[in-house]
């Protein structure tokens, strides 16, 4: 089976392909000739996933899925949330985003946070949503060099290391994206 994943983020594409295994061949936006930035103008993570999936289905006619993910920090009232990729500005720089979160939490005791992923699947004129959430805390300093985004400052509950200190397999087994992809695969295997 081939499915378009509405992304050109190479880290995400690799992570998703590893999660789905060989039974599904993931095609990127580039693979289908989509080079434009799909607008992410929704107010929620769910809304952005739906926008991206609908864009590909409506404009290119493919069955596809799209995800949107966000870091939700309790002390920041759920921010950066839907604005996670551009928390520190439109340049969407991971290091700038990390620096801003650490600055906002300087001297703050409550460092609880979660990562949330929502996958919107458009398949045969039907849409399904799958959600994964993992709780954790924001560290006071960056640790590790694996992964991407906020991984160096996110330490999942019951773990002594950050996502960036885990190898891909270990992270995928517990991550928000891993949970959502697992639900997606369960759904597809029932089709």
User: Domains (ranges, CATH) in the chain?
Assistant: 2-189 (3.90.950.10)
The C-alpha atoms of residue 142 and residue 160 are separated, in whole angstroms, by 13
Among candidate residues 31, 54, 67, 68, the one labeled active-site is: 68
Instruction: Look at residue 48 and tell me whether its pLDDT is greater than 70.
Output: yes
Lowest mean pLDDT among 12-26, 42-56, 99-113: 12-26
Span 73-98, mean pLDDT?
95
Q: Given this model, what pLDDT does residue 8 score?
A: 82
Span 168-183, mean pLDDT?
92
For a pLDDT cut of 70, what percent of the chain falls above it? Answer: 99
* pLDDT tens per residue across span 98-107: 999 999 999 9
155-to-47, 82, 96, 111, 164 alpha-carbon distances in Å: 27, 20, 19, 10, 9
Q: Given this model, what pLDDT does residue 191 score?
A: 61
Closest CA to 60 of 20, 40, 31, 25: 31
Instruction: Look at residue 10 and tell me whether its pLDDT is greater than 90.
Output: no
Peptide bond into 80 cis (omega under 30): yes
The C-alpha atoms of residue 191 and residue 188 are separated, in whole angstroms, by 5
The C-alpha atoms of residue 64 and residue 50 are separated, in whole angstroms, by 11
22-to-7, 19, 50, 65, 124 alpha-carbon distances in Å: 19, 9, 25, 17, 21
Active site residue 68: yes
* pLDDT tens per residue across span 105-123: 999 999 999 999 999 999 9
Tell me how far the alpha carbon of residue 145 is from its chain's centroid. Answer: 18
| Mean pLDDT for the chain overall | 93
The model's pTM: 0.90
Instruction: Look at residue 165 and tell me whether its pLDDT is greater than 70.
Output: yes
Contact in structure between 50 and 42 (CB atoms under 8 Å): yes
Instruction: Look at residue 188 and tell me whether its pLDDT is greater than 80.
Output: yes
Q: Given this model, what pLDDT does residue 12 score?
A: 81
Instruction: Look at residue 152 and tell me whether its pLDDT is greater than 90.
Output: yes
Q: Residue-wise over 76-109: b if at least 16 C-beta within 10 A, else e?
A: beebbbbebbebbeeeeebeebbebbeeebeeee
């Amino acid at each position: 089976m081939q499915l378009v994943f509405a992304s050109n983020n190479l880290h995400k594409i690799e992570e998703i392909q590893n999660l789905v295994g060989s039974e599904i061949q993931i095609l990127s936006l580039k693979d289908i000739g989509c080079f434009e930035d799909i607008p992410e103008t929704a107010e929620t993570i769910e809304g952005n996933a739906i926008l991206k999936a609908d864009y590909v289905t409506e404009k290119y006619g493919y069955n596809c899925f799209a995800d949107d993910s966000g870091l939700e920090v309790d002390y920041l009232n759920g921010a950066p949330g839907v604005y996670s990729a551009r928390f520190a500005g439109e340049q969407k720089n991971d290091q700038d985003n990390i620096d801003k979160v650490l600055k906002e939490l300087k001297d703050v005791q409550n460092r609880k946070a979660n990562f949330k992923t929502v996958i919107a699947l458009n398949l045969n004129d039907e849409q399904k949503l799958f959600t994964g959430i993992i709780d954790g805390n924001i560290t006071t300093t960056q640790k590790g060099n694996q992964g991407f985004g906020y991984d160096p400052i996110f330490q999942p509950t019951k773990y002594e290391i950050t996502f960036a200190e885990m190898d891909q397999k270990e992270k995928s087994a517990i991550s928000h994206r891993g949970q959502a992809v697992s639900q997606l695969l369960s759904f597809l295997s029932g089709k």
